[in-house]
Amino acid sequence: KLLYEFDSSPKNRLEILTRYGKHADAEEELWDPVKIRRFIVKAVTTLFTGEPNAKRYRIALDEIAGIPKRLHREGKGLDGQPPLSELILNAAHSHLSEEVLLRTPEDSYERKLYQERKEAGVTSVGAVRSSAVAEWQLDRQEEKSKGNIGAYEAALAGDGFQSNQA
């Protein structure tokens, strides 16, 4: 709810990051950045999972999350450091393409499904099955054609996992 401000939902992940950056800056003002920054950054690490260069983005976020602790060990403060929102957006812009940033997670998911179906040579949505499910269905059909009740049908009938086989 904090991200969406109740009036309109973000249209893409760049908007999500921008809004989250404002929230992250406010949280760092309230709490000690040495203790809280890693928790704040963790929330946006999986936003680009499955996208090209997402691992580089996560590595950059991990480095950003460690800055306050490193500076604290060196006896320095965050004075002169850019705000967390700027660091997060810079990491996204430097490691991810503009196309990826402007896509919604739903768009990315649909695109990934389309690519998988295209590689498999499947044109309809329902035609994709895992090999385990296809094998199980073939076994059931063979048992049915022999007149035997398979383990699945026996379980449905209340006979446990016993079949009619002698």
2-43 per-position pLDDT tens digit: 544 555 666 788 888 888 889 888 888 888 878 788 888 888
Name the nearest CA neighbour of 34 among 86, 74, 91: 74
Distance of alpha carbon 117 from alpha carbon 114, whole angstroms: 5
In sequence order, the 6+-apart residues with CB closer than 8 A to the CB of 45 are 58, 61, 62
Which distant-in-sequence residues (6+ apart) come within 8 Å of 154 by Cβ? 160, 161, 162, 163, 164
Which are the contacts of 105, defined by CB distance < 8 A and separation ≥ 6? 13, 47
Both tokens of 81, joined, read 């450091």
Residue 68 is predicted with a pLDDT of 81
DSSP state letter for 93? H
**What is the model's pLDDT at position 12?**
84
**Which residues, given as ranges, of the chain have pLDDT below 70?**
1-10, 122-130, 149-166
pLDDT score for 56: 92
pLDDT at residue 73, rounded to an integer: 79
Distance CA 103, CA 100 (A): 5
Q: Which pTM was predicted? A: 0.60
Q: Give the pLDDT confidence score for residue 78 in this predicted structure.
A: 74
Name the residue with tokens 């203790």. Answer: 35
User: Where does residue 133 rank: exposed (0-12), middle (13-18), buried (19+ CB within 10 A)?
Assistant: exposed
One-letter amino acid at 18 equals T
